[in-house]
Structure 1
């Protein structure tokens, strides 16, 4: 699942981040459950 506009703090080693330079976006590829766990 792609999560747009994620603060950089939840990013961990070996995560996949998509960088779209023309649109100026970063997308962190993690599951919703994993992201919720990191934010807790």
Structure 2
């Protein structure tokens, strides 16, 4: 049971990390030009 709980917590932590990274990428795409890297 403890092993399953640890796996679940690790999965939640990874999901949270990936979501945070995706949000950062979306924010960067909204604020900077893709080709030049210059601010919009």
TM-score by length of 2: 0.25
Select the structure with the greater relative contact order (CA < 8 A; seq sep ≥ 6). 1
Structure ID, larger Rg: 2
TM-score by length of 1: 0.25
